A and B are shown apart, each in its own frame.
Chain A
Amino acid sequence: GAGVSQSPSNKVTEKGKDVELRCDPISGHTALYWYRQSLGQGLEFLIYFQGNSAPDKSGLPSDRFSAERTGGSVSTLTIQRTQQEDSAVYLCASRGGGARQETQYFGPGTRLLVL
């Protein structure tokens, strides 16, 4: 079946602009994660959605970052007033929400460059 998809694959924006990154998880997966991969920080957790529960936003680096998940499926990560340090690859992952011990499957990522 189809894996996790993300769009756009690449995004170039100017400092101060807002951007939206999209993630389509694997069908039926109830858990969804956003991670960021940057040169200075490596791979870091941003936010986690599980079903209808309140999201775990503990990894978001500032209030310029937000995310939502509509209908328990597609998720959008929004970065407002982008800064150059936001340049990174943003990875989305989904996991089946049944038993524990299930694997997180990653999408190809969105490469964001803020000029």
Chain B
Amino acid sequence: AQSVTQPDIHITVSEGASLELRCNYSYGATPYLFWYVQSPGQGLQLLLKYFSGDTLVQGIKGFEAEFKRSQSSFNLRKPSVHWSDAAEYFCAVGAAFGNEKLTFGTGTRLTIIP
């Protein structure tokens, strides 16, 4: 069965500082990997996704993520955070075949301080 672990429940960073959110997955084959962001009271917005090819993927809002098969990781990074980045971030893995349902991690809540 597929699973996703986000080890950090809550992270606080200063505005302008760099950010890395960790994600580890368990999946028997090549996974489809996603990062979604959820602002309070809002639905999920896709930041970026990895299916194949280049292991460094670029997303919206200046985010990027790197797929490392050897470490079963898909960490999200941003070089300089903005106050508007405060939200909850979810990593997800999807099956390549079948229903392609998403299995989500428990999320990381990001707080930005001035």
Footprint of B on A, CB under 8 Å? 4, 31, 33, 35, 42-45, 48, 50, 56, 59, 91, 93, 95, 100-101, 103-109
B100 at the interface (CB under 8 A from A): yes
Are A48 and B46 interface neighbours, CB within 8 A? no
Residues of A with C-beta under 8 A to B90: 43
B96 at the interface (CB under 8 A from A): yes
Would you give the shortest CB distance from B78 to chain A, in whole angstroms?
20
Q: How many residues of B contact A (CB 8 A)?
A: 26
Contact partner, A42, options B44, B97, B106, Cβ 8 Å: B106
Task: Report whether over half of chain A's contact residues are helix, strand or loop; otherwise say mixed.
Answer: strand
Expressed in whole angstroms, the Cα–Cα distance for A91 and B90 within the complex equals 14
> What are 19 A-B residue pairs whose CB atoms fall within 8 Å in the complex?
A4-B43, A31-B100, A33-B101, A43-B92, A43-B107, A45-B102, A48-B99, A48-B101, A56-B98, A56-B101, A59-B101, A91-B43, A91-B44, A93-B44, A100-B97, A100-B100, A101-B51, A107-B43, A108-B42
Residues of A with C-beta under 8 A to B49: 103
Expressed in whole angstroms, the Cα–Cα distance for A45 and B32 within the complex equals 16
Are A45 and B100 interface neighbours, CB within 8 A? no
Are B44 and A50 interface neighbours, CB within 8 A? no
Contact with A along B47-90 (1 / 0, CB 8 A): 00101000000000000000000000000000000000000001
Contact partner, B102, options A101, A104, A109, Cβ 8 Å: A104
What is the total of A-B residue contacts with beta carbons within 8 Å?
51
B103 at the interface (CB under 8 A from A): yes
Given contacts A56-B101, A100-B96, contact A106 B43 (CB under 8 A): yes
Nearest 8 A/B pairs, CB to CB: A43-B104, A106-B44, A108-B43, A106-B43, A48-B99, A45-B101, A101-B51, A56-B99
Residues of B with C-beta under 8 A to A44: 104
Would you give the shortest CB distance from A55 to chain B, in whole angstroms?
9
Among residues of B, the one whose C-beta sits closest to the C-beta of A108 is B43
